Homo-oligomer: A and B are copies of this chain.
Amino acid sequence: MVRVAIIGASGYTGAESIRIILRHSEAKLVYLTALPQECGAVRDVFGQFKGRCDLQIEPLDFDKLSGLADVALCCLPHKVSMGFVPKFLAAGLKVIDFSADYRLKDISVYEKFYEVKHTDAVNLGRAVYGLPELFREDIKGKDLIANPGCYPTGALLAIAPLLKEGLIETDSIIVNAVTGVSGAGRNPSSKFHFPNMNENLFAYGVGSHRHMPEMEQIAGEIADSNVQILFQPHAGPFDRGILSTVYCQPKGKISNEKLLKLYNDFYAGEHFVQIRSDAPTVKDVAGTNYCHIFATRAKGRIIIFSAIDNLVKGASGQAVQNMNIVFGLEETLGLK
């Protein structure tokens, strides 16, 4: 039984991680931490767990953590995480880190987009990017997994087969995505105040979203060449889900039949990636760890649609999938 600590358990990804581990037959929650002002009984912090979880969310105590847990699901924010992860590793824990701190291999890119000095280059060097469908072998048994961003998860699963096969131009990929509001986190703000966000839809992070370099780095690894991605996120009036609509320029002619075969072959045996023959919907994947993908030609381009739940496949579910791989468990445990 893997003993799981959740660091930063008071946010949405913390709650989602709790929900998943509660159903996991080979893992159990042993320790939940948050900032002092956000601590309390799980059932009080998240009413949904009343009667389902008797744990407390407590201020982090390193000694307690190292004695109790085998793995830390680290749900801390960007910039904060790299201050803690080295200590978790030093204490012998495996770490699945939800932040961006261990995703961008090029420190100068990290420092440009996150506007802070990176303080843990050593661990950054050995962290593995935790997108199992693409990097499963690298993840097995590792100490530190950089859990992918929600948008990169959806976008990369959408374009990986085409990049891998070299079938598209790598300088003209456009990723247009719409996320549900849980992606903005649990802190109230004017933009996401219900009467402002309800019945609304808008773009944000125009031309400069932090997930753009993350996508480009991993896409580049897959393609084994420089990849340029124009990524434009939007927020829509729903709780969960990301729909990515990806526009690519094919290098040559490719039929829809070949596209379908390419995707089916590439993801053959992948439980959590499902290739559809029609456009996926956000609702079909909400609350699940699945990614639904449809690829088709349109007016000389290829459009790929991918749908995930930003809190599950885009965060906590993928983290548990990574945890399962790291510990040699059945990959789908807790996630079906």
Residues of chain A at the chain B interface (Cβ within 8 Å): 12, 22-23, 47-48, 50-52, 174, 176, 178, 180-182, 184, 186-190, 192-204, 206-208, 212, 228-230, 232, 234, 236-241, 243, 245, 247, 271-272, 274, 276, 279-288, 290, 292, 296-301, 303, 305, 307, 336
Contact B202 A243 (CB under 8 A): yes
Q: A181-B195, A237-B194, A238-B198 are in contact. Are A336 and B204 (CB under 8 A)?
A: no
Known interface pairs A51-B290, A174-B247, A245-B234; A194-B181 also in contact (CB < 8 Å) = yes
Give the shortest distance, in Å, between A44 (CB) and chain B (any CB): 10
CA distance A51 to B336 in the complex (A): 10
- Report yes or no: A195 in contact with B298, Cβ–Cβ below 8 A: no
> A192-B188, A298-B206, A303-B207 in contact; A283/B234 too (CB < 8 A)?
no
Please give the distance in Å from A149's CB to the nearest CB on chain B: 18
Query: A188 and B186: CB pair below 8 A?
Result: no
Asked whether, in the complex, the Cβ of A283 is within 8 Å of the Cβ of B48, the reply is yes
Instruction: Give me 6 other A-B pairs in contact (C-beta within 8 A), A199-B286, A200-B281 excluded.
Output: A176-B245, A188-B189, A188-B192, A193-B193, A193-B194, A203-B243
- Report whether B48 and A228 are in contact in the complex, using a CB–CB cutoff of 8 Å: no
- Pick the contact of A281: B194, B201, B279, B296 (CB < 8 A): B201
Question: Could you tell me the distance in whole angstroms from the C-beta of A242 to the nearest C-beta in chain B?
Answer: 9
> Which single member of B241, B271, B284, B301 contacts A47 (CB below 8 Å)?
B284
* A12–B195 touching, CB < 8 Å: yes
A297 to chain B: closest residue by CB: B207
24 pairs from A and B in contact (CB 8 Å cutoff):
A23-B336, A47-B281, A48-B283, A51-B290, A52-B290, A52-B336, A180-B195, A181-B198, A186-B193, A188-B192, A192-B193, A195-B239, A198-B238, A199-B238, A199-B239, A199-B286, A201-B236, A201-B241, A201-B243, A202-B307, A207-B298, A229-B299, A230-B247, A234-B243
